[in-house]
Amino acid sequence: MKQSIRIILVDDHHVIREGLRVLLMHLPELHITGEASSGEELLELMKTQPADILIMDICLPGISGILLTEKIRKLYPEVKVIMLTAMISEEYILNSLKAGAYGYLPKDVRQEELIEAIMTVFEGKEYIARAISAKVLQKLVRYSRTPASDRQENMLSLRESEVLELFAEGYSYKEIAERLSISVRTVETHKEHIMDKLGLHSVADIVKYAIKQGIISI
């Protein structure tokens, strides 16, 4: 039997919370345990209502979702936050990740990806929306091909850039291997080299790196 994932919805618009409830209620492993329209209401609710995941907007009355995430991480370190917001500028993304958010999704995300994000975050992994991460990877490819003396050691090879670009376009390991006429293991090795060169470990790390380097402005 799968473990039930307890979710609290945090948004100041009732219609958004109700829409999320309808989207998620058909999955038996997801259990909406509460709703809050502000940070103050959420903190009061969490005194008596446990949760595994908070699906939270950034724009809330009073304390913002970003500051609220910092507070939640200190008070309830086991609780994970997924930002679901219309704010998708690099400043908001980076500050949310710095505050401790595990996920970042735009409000027009598809139901399937929202569920995928919940499952991924519940396992303790970070999740950045595919639409955002794809743009980041594409810009990172162009950046990696631009010579600069202060980052010459981190330059990607032509093949590594090709692999990164195909990942950015959404191809799987197997599809990339077929397109480049190499083995899946070689694709995995190229990706390991890319991450090592950039000193990164996940897509979320790639997003943070690209924003800090000024590579992206989503």
Query: 170-202 pLDDT, tens per residue?
Result: 678 898 899 899 999 999 898 888 888 777 777
CA-to-CA distance for 149 and 60, rounded, in angstroms? 44
Domain architecture of the chain: domains with CATH: 5-128 (3.40.50.2300), 132-212 (1.10.10.10)
Q: Write out pLDDT tens, residues 115-137.
A: 999 999 999 988 888 777 666 66
Whose CA is closest to 166, among 148, 184, 146, 147? 184
What's the pLDDT score for residue 167?
73
Instruction: Encode burial over 134-165: b for 16+ CB neighbours within 10 A, e otherwise.
Output: bbbbbbbbebbeeeeeeeeeeebeeebbbbbb
**Structure tokens that stand for 37 in this block:** 């329209």
The answer to whether the Cα torsion of 163, 167, 168, 171 is positive or negative is positive
Q: pTM score, two decimals? A: 0.68
| Helix residue ranges per DSSP H, the chain | 14-24, 39-45, 65-75, 90-99, 111-122, 130-144, 158-168, 173-180, 184-198, 203-212
DSSP state of 88: -
**Residue 16 backbone dihedrals phi, psi, to 5 degrees:** -70, -45
| pLDDT over 60 (residue 102) | yes
146: Cβ–Cβ under 8 A, 6 or more apart, which residues?
Answer: none
First to last CA, the chain: 41
DSSP state of 210: H
What's the pLDDT score for residue 140?
57
DSSP state of 131: H
41: Cβ–Cβ under 8 A, 6 or more apart, which residues?
Answer: none
The band of 153, judged by pLDDT with boundaries at 50, 70 and 90, is very low
CA-to-CA distance for 126 and 64, rounded, in angstroms? 21
111: Cβ–Cβ under 8 A, 6 or more apart, which residues?
Answer: 23
The band of 149, judged by pLDDT with boundaries at 50, 70 and 90, is very low
